[in-house]
């Protein structure tokens, strides 16, 4: 039986790309550069801040300006954390259904806690989540299984009865390494050149309500 459901945050639980894209384009404007189209930025969101800076400026982490650009990007993003961010359509209903079934849920993200916690509070979910594991909660981040195992520990659930949902390969790799069941959120920030069918997840969902269908089928099949 699935007793716990854990979500990636960006691109799975919440649609944060509009605010992240706006922050990145503001940084580009500050540096006298042209804005990038939203559809170009969106697939990079789940890969994190470093990937977004690499995309915007064509530089890598060894470039002297990289860290200052990344820090300024995060400062801008923090200032507009929930201007255009919202739960994906159907996600509120999913959380209500999970709670009504007695299935606990939480968040496991690589986003730093100083951004994760305020965002969860603004979304009205901070007190409802059984656990919120950020990128700086454990020594290692996804794709390492440590955050997943810690989520199970503090939620008092076993990985084999847990489901993790994400939209990046590292999400699925981390979940599988921890012994969790995994689902790919196809509605998230997956690039056209990626092949999620090769990630070896237990399933793929095209919208949040697919989570409930998968759980119901899983329980029926056992």
* pTM for the structure as a whole: 0.95
Q: Which of 8, 15, 19, 171 is catalytic?
A: 8
pLDDT in tens, 51-101: 999 999 999 999 999 999 999 999 999 999 999 999 999 999 999 999 999
Please choose, from the candidates 24, 149, 15, 170, the residue with its C-alpha nearest in 3D space to the C-alpha of residue 85: 15
Distance, in Å, from the CA atom of 55 to the CA atom of 36, rounded to the nearest integer, reads 9
Q: Give how far Cα 139 sits from Cα of 7, 60, 110, Å.
A: 19, 23, 11
Share of the chain above pLDDT 70, in %: 100
pLDDT at 30 over 70: yes
Q: Residue 181 to residues 113, 115, 145, 165, 176: CA-CA distances in angstroms?
A: 25, 27, 13, 9, 7
pLDDT of residue 222: 63
Whole-number pLDDT of residue 220 = 78
- Span 106-126, average pLDDT: 97
- pLDDT tens column, 136-158: 999 999 999 999 999 999 999 99
- What tens digit of pLDDT does each residue of 208-217 get? 999 999 999 9
8 catalytic per annotation: yes
3-state class of 147 per DSSP? Answer: helix
In the set 10, 15, 167, 171, the catalytic residue is 10
Q: What mean pLDDT value characterizes the chain?
A: 96
Cis peptide before 143, with omega less than 30 degrees from 0? yes
* pLDDT per residue as tens digits for the range 161-182: 999 999 999 999 999 999 999 9
């Amino acid at each position: 039986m699935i007793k716990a459901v854990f979500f990636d945050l960006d691109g799975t639980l919440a649609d944060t790309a509009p605010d992240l894209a706006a922050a990145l384009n503001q940084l580009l404007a500050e540096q006298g550069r042209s804005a990038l189209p939203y559809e170009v930025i969106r697939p990079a969101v789940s890969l994190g801040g470093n990937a977004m800076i690499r995309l915007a400026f064509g530089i890598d982490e060894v470039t002297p300006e990289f860290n200052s650009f990344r820090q300024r990007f995060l400062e801008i993003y923090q200032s507009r954390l929930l201007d255009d961010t919202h739960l994906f359509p159907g996600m509120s209903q999913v959380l209500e259904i999970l709670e009504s079934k007695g299935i606990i849920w939480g968040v496991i993200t690589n986003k730093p806690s100083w951004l994760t916690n305020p965002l969860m509070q603004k979304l009205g979910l901070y007190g409802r989540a059984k656990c919120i594991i950020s990128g700086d909660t454990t020594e290692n981040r996804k794709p390492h299984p440590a955050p997943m195992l810690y989520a199970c520990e503090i939620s008092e659930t076993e990985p084999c009865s847990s489901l993790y949902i994400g939209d990046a390969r590292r999400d699925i790799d981390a979940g599988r390494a921890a012994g969790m069941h995994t689902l790919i959120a196809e509605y998230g920030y997956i690039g056209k050149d990626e092949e999620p069918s090769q990630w070896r997840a237990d399933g793929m969902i095209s919208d949040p309500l697919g989570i409930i269908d998968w759980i119901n089928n899983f329980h029926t099949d056992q």
